[in-house]
Chain A
Amino acid sequence: AQSVAQPEDQVNVAEGNPLTVKCTYSVSGNPYLFWYVQYPNRGLQFLLKYITGDNLVKGSYGFEAEFNKSQTSFHLKKPSALVSDSALYFCAVRAGYSSASKIIFGSGTRLSIRP
């Protein structure tokens, strides 16, 4: 069965330090992987995606994610955190080429950056 796990409900990081938000997935076939961010009282916004090719994907606001097929992971990273990065982050996976194939979201990780 298709699934996504975000093992940490909350991640706390000091401003200026690197951050990692973890995501592991389980699909049959080649995955399409996404990260979305949700700021307070807003809808989800797209950050980045992995389709194929280079395992390191760069996205918006200085975020990047590394696809690791052997570990079935797609961790979100940023070299230097900002207070404005504080938000709720969702990992998502879609298995299948068609847009009709289901997209599954993780439970979300709340990222808190302290000044």
Chain B
Amino acid sequence: EAQVTQNPRYLITVTGKKLTVTCSQNMNHEYMSWYRQDPGLGLRQIYYSMNVEVTDKGDVPEGYKVSRKEKRNFPLILESPSPNQTSLYFCASSLARDSGANVLTFGAGSRLTVL
């Protein structure tokens, strides 16, 4: 089944304790992206990647890091989490070639709470 898999789905952590949210897709998509969803704000892009070793900042990159060493994986790293990073996180992927009309496939989401 074609899918985007995120782990963990739920996580409660404390301020300053580094964590990684993994994202993996099995569709050979070039484009991958991380979003955070907050009430009343919709989805805001954190980082995106057009292909292996190519990443760029989205609208709200502060406090986050990403890497794209393999095409299928795009982990989101919070080096020193803070309470304002409590949110619902989504990873998404799509084809990248030729068309901005490509549809995003989303993971099921990771709900992160930082105490």
Chains A and B bind each other:
yes
Q: Are A44 and B40 in contact (CB under 8 A)?
A: no
Segment of A64-72, A73-81, A95-103 engaged in the interface with chain B: A95-103
Q: Contacts of A100 on B, CB cut-off 8 Å?
A: 31, 48, 50, 56, 96
Q: Are A51 and B101 in contact (CB under 8 A)?
A: yes
Band of interface residues on A = 20 to 34
Q: Contacts of B90 on A, CB cut-off 8 Å?
A: 43-44
Band of interface residues on B = 20 to 34
Q: Are B43 and A105 in contact (CB under 8 A)?
A: yes
Q: Are A102 and B50 in contact (CB under 8 A)?
A: no
Report the minimal beta-carbon distance from B61 to chain A, rounded to whole angstroms: 13
Q: Contacts of A49 on B, CB cut-off 8 Å?
A: 101, 103
Contact with A along B29-66 (1 / 0, CB 8 A): 01100010000111111001010000010100000000
Answer whether residue A63 sits at the interface, using C-beta atoms and an 8 A cutoff: no
Q: Contacts of B44 on A, CB cut-off 8 Å?
A: 105
Q: Are A32 and B108 in contact (CB under 8 A)?
A: no
Contact with A along B67-97 (1 / 0, CB 8 A): 0000000000000000000000010101111
Interface CB pairs A-B, < 8 A, 15: A42-B108, A43-B4, A43-B107, A44-B43, A49-B101, A51-B101, A94-B100, A96-B100, A98-B100, A99-B99, A100-B56, A101-B100, A102-B45, A103-B104, A105-B43
- Additional A-B contact list (4), CB under 8 Å, known A43-B90, A44-B90, A105-B35: A36-B106, A43-B4, A99-B50, A107-B41
Interface set of A (CB-CB < 8 Å, partner B):
4, 9, 32, 34, 36, 41-46, 49, 51, 90, 94-103, 105-108
